[in-house]
Structure 1
Amino acid sequence: MAPRRGTRTRTKTRTTLALTTTNPAPATTNLAPATATTPMTDVAIRTLIAQGVANALAEQSIQRNTTLNDDGSQGFGSGIVRPVRPTRECTYNDFLKCQPLNFNGTEGVVGLTQWFKRMETLFYINNCVVKNQVKFTTCTLHSVALTWWKSHVNIVGHNAAYDMPCKTLMKMMTTKYCPRNEIKKLEIEIWNLKVKGTDLTSYTQRFQELALLCGRMFPEVSNEVEKYVGGLPDMIQGNVMATKPKTME
């Protein structure tokens, strides 16, 4: 008698399961091929460390960067708010600490020029405001120079005397205390002054010194500019004139 169809199917299934359990399929793995590791040199390590430090410092600098608030205070990345300190105005004591030169009125052109230079230097390094420059300058006058200044104050008045620009004072003193024959020599020098080689700095400095002492040669600013440009090398003279300069600055 033939077995029923259902019995034959169950027998076949059990046989397949048994075979699967007895002989499992080999597992497959995807292993990356082994690579050789190259050891880092001391130079490479130091480079990485230096780069890390630089990045950290840059980040810290950004966080601590100062910003100006609407109220005029300074806000920092740390959250601290500090007021902005205004630049301190130069006082007369500050001016005296720099040991300014005195001027008596008998030093001649060289002495007057040195005095001018010293005053300009002190005004610059002390951040001396314009309104105080004539006041501080005239405090260094002695002897006949002081007598001359006091006489000028009596004539024009205190306010007019001390409110004028310091450059005007220097021109007045040049007219008063530089002998005419010495001024004539300086006028000849500035008339023939030209740039030597490519030393434009020395030319400019000397021209400014002479122009200050030879003010009558340049009744207008345009005259001074024209003479200065005339002493420049041909290669740059045209370029300067093309800008149409109106002042020495």
Structure 2
Amino acid sequence: MTDTNEDEATRQELLKTMISEEIGRAMQASIPHLAQEVESHVLEVVESMMASKMDELKGMINVMQEKKGTRKCTYKEFMACNPLPFKGEIDPIACQRWIASTEAVFIRSHCEKEDQVMFATGLLQLRAKDWWDVYSKELGEEKVQVLTWQEFKEPFLKYHCPQSAIDKIQEDFLHLRQKDETIDEITNVFLDKLKFCKDIAGTERMKINRYYGMLKAEYREFIIPAKCETLNELIDLARDREIEIRRQAERGEKRVSENVSSSSPSKKPKFQDQSKKDKAKGSIPKCKTCGKLHTGECLKGKKGCYNCGQEGHPYYRCPNPSRTCYNCFQPGHIKAECPKLQQKTDKEARKEEAPRAKGRMFQITTEEAKDHPNVVSGVKEESSSQVKQQGDQDRGKSHV
């Protein structure tokens, strides 16, 4: 019995040891799995917390945006953007420029649509303010409060941009030519008028040709508009040419065309020097009383005939008219009979006379003409008087 009990105790001890070892092995095998489960659980908790925080942040941002959206632009904030005033000029260019500037201020200041007309009309001054006062009374206060910007622009443009002013701009655009303006100055004028000339220069090629024809000759000589595809390319070429002309002026160089014209002596100037024309009259002083050229006493304001000084007849009916030359201002003859003028005419006629070429004739006999290989012989026709004088012996002579 004692041995049996000891064996049973030993078996139980062995069984406990085996069970504990198996449990230890199982626990060691399950540790990685447990760590993964713990990690996943922690991540789920963190993600849920982050999601809740993100929702809170989004809610706060939405609230801030709603508060910002409900806040309207004030007139003070609108005027802080420095909008341009308008004084009521009947000028389509100035009118369109003011509208574009005001609409740009609407965008910068985030002005509400229902406040645009009220804020913009605060910029009107002088004649423009007078027009708005009359027009707003015609509409009524209720209509003015709900008036939109587009509804305001239509009568505004109709009054300040009449068709007659637009026609004048188009006419000036057709006759626009560069004079003393720089390229930038004439380009600004061209572009301002171009806004109202779409029918005249609607395509890019029409704009290029019109701009090229407007430039001065010193620019057009060195620019080929056919090579330009856009108006901006042509403007850049004109600016480059302007810089080159300025550099040539600083270096003291002359244009090629000016050098060519000065080197050709055959071309005479179109206009003569005025001093040459007045050379003959330079010796006669101008009268301080009547402002004309004459000698002797001035008779302006005196009664009677200017020739003889007697009353009863005008100077053009004077019985004893005095003849005075308008060329030498000497009495006794008229300009057509002036000896000085005739002397000049005779000298000029002598200079124009050129020596006449003298003709030569060689005379040989018929026998000599037949023997010479380079002579073409023929009978010369002479007048009847010469035939009678020379006789029959001269009829057979040959002439070359």
Report if TM-score (shorter chain) is over 0.5: no
Query: Shorter-chain TM-score category?
Result: 0.3 to 0.5
TM-score by length of 2: 0.29
TM-score (norm 1): 0.45
Q: Which has the higher contact order (CA 8 A, sep 6+)?
A: 1
**Bigger Rg, which one:** 2
